Amino acid sequence: MLTPCHYAYVKISEGCDNLCSYCIISRLRGRFRSRTVDSVIKEIKAVSLRSDPKEIDLIGQDTTLFGMDLYGKSVFPGLLKNIAELKNGIEWIRILYTHPAHYSDEFIFTVRDTPKICRYLDIPIQHINDAILKKMNRHITRKEIIELIEKIRKNIPGIALRTSIIVGFPGETEEAFKELLDFLKDARFEKLGAFIYSREESSRAYKFRGQIPENIKQQRFDEVMKAQQAISADINRSFLGKTLKVLIDEKLEGDRYFGRTEFDAPEVDGGVYIDGSGIKAGEFYNVKINDTLEYDLVGELA
């Protein structure tokens, strides 16, 4: 399925230097390589002329490191400011695939101070137990993850945080899993993707001791998803009666449409079901929320 004209993915880098032990991206795609700022801006201008997108989604194996290989430091905040200054009809800039070990105050403040940047950050933490994080080679500790989340939420009011976690990594004891589950219940991420550890033959983790039986992996996955379903449903209820800016993705049956708020990335998050007539896909509308589901909202034109 082709990406709709009203949003576009722009890859700002290729490859990865993080060398997580469960991953083979560096083997498949090589070392981390940033594009130049000018080339990214040029592509966004070309996409804007071709399809007039309302949303740009920036992707890469580690977007927070953008420019490190070319300029000796991350220039991601500068890139974001340059994109926001373009006069091309783009109203949302969405940031995906950030690495928690590579955040800077400048990046956080840029997200806070740039209205076009969605109040949404994708921060895959993968786990919270220090021993597992070390075996994963994530370059970060439990304490640092918690401090980062607190700093982001303190400095960017209303931010929606998405994370990804892996259950069943080799050596994940019942105690380590419980630590992860308790943390997720406390952190209350607005969005979460959980994955069952997959043993990649070319990865370092393939040979690790303590491989977890498949039935235990599935059980832990189910527990995480059950907990997150309750968290998501509770967070969604807080939107009842509020009016949100929604980008319409598609027309469904009859006079029902599906769209997204700035807190929802395409294809991976939930969205908003809207009843109404004369609505056009690819346009923004103010929608009053009158019902909620576990992962989605329901509303009508305000």
Task: Tell me, letter by letter, the H, E, C secondary structure of 73-103.
Answer: CCCHHHHHHHHHCCCCCCCEEEECCCCHHHC
Residue scoring higher pLDDT (161 or 254): 161
Say yes or no: 96 and 123 in one domain. Answer: yes
C-alpha 118/C-alpha 111 separation (Å) is 8
Mean pLDDT value across the chain: 96
Say yes or no: 218 and 256 in one domain. Answer: no
Count of positions (residues) in the chain: 302
Say yes or no: 79 and 115 in one domain. Answer: yes
Say yes or no: 230 and 91 in one domain. Answer: yes
Say yes or no: 124 and 208 in one domain. Answer: yes
Please write the tens of the pLDDT for every residue from 70-124.
Answer: 999 999 999 999 999 998 899 999 999 999 999 999 999 999 999 999 999 999 9
Assess if residue 105 is contained within a domain. Answer: yes
Question: In terms of residue numbers, what domain contains 33?
Answer: 7-237
Say yes or no: 153 and 19 in one domain. Answer: yes
C-alpha 272/C-alpha 260 separation (Å) is 6
Please write the tens of the pLDDT for every residue from 30-80.
Answer: 999 999 999 999 999 999 999 989 999 999 999 999 999 999 999 999 999
Say yes or no: 197 and 287 in one domain. Answer: no
The predicted pLDDT at position 191 comes to 98
The predicted pLDDT at position 26 comes to 87
Mean pLDDT across 177-206: 97
The predicted pLDDT at position 1 comes to 46
Say yes or no: 21 and 73 in one domain. Answer: yes
Total-model pTM: 0.95
CA dihedral 210, 212, 216, 220 (to 10 degrees): 90
Residue 20 belongs to domain with CATH number: 3.80.30.20
Going by C-alpha positions, the residue among 148, 120, 105, 113 that lies closest to residue 57 is: 120
The predicted pLDDT at position 3 comes to 80
289 within 8 A of 242, measured Cβ to Cβ: yes
Say yes or no: 247 and 179 in one domain. Answer: no
Query: For residue 199, which amino acid is it?
Result: R
Assess if residue 54 is contained within a domain. Answer: yes
Assess if residue 1 is contained within a domain. Answer: no
Share of the chain above pLDDT 70, in %: 99
Say yes or no: 156 and 290 in one domain. Answer: no
Q: Enter the tokens of residue 77.
A: 């905040």
**Three-state SS at 65:** helix
Assess if residue 255 is contained within a domain. Answer: yes
Say yes or no: 249 and 233 in one domain. Answer: no
Share of the chain above pLDDT 90, in %: 94
**Which of 237, 264, 291 is the last residue before a domain boundary?**
237
CA dihedral 200, 201, 205, 206 (to 10 degrees): 120
**Which of 220, 237, 254 is the last residue before a domain boundary?**
237
C-alpha 140/C-alpha 138 separation (Å) is 6
133 within 8 A of 18, measured Cβ to Cβ: no
Local structure of residue 156 (DSSP, 8 states): S
Assess if residue 144 is contained within a domain. Answer: yes
Say yes or no: 68 and 182 in one domain. Answer: yes
Assess if residue 2 is contained within a domain. Answer: no
Number of domains within the chain: 2
- What DSSP letter does each residue of 145-190 carry, written as one string? HHHHHHHHHHHSTT-EEEEEEEES-TT--HHHHHHHHHHHHHH--S
Going by C-alpha positions, the residue among 127, 106, 82 that lies closest to residue 224 is: 127
C-alpha 148/C-alpha 168 separation (Å) is 25
**Which of 237, 268, 292 is the last residue before a domain boundary?**
237
CA–CA distance from 58 to each of 19, 23, 158 (Å)?
21, 21, 21
Assess if residue 98 is contained within a domain. Answer: yes
Assess if residue 97 is contained within a domain. Answer: yes
Residue 281 belongs to domain with CATH number: 2.40.50.140
C-alpha 228/C-alpha 226 separation (Å) is 6
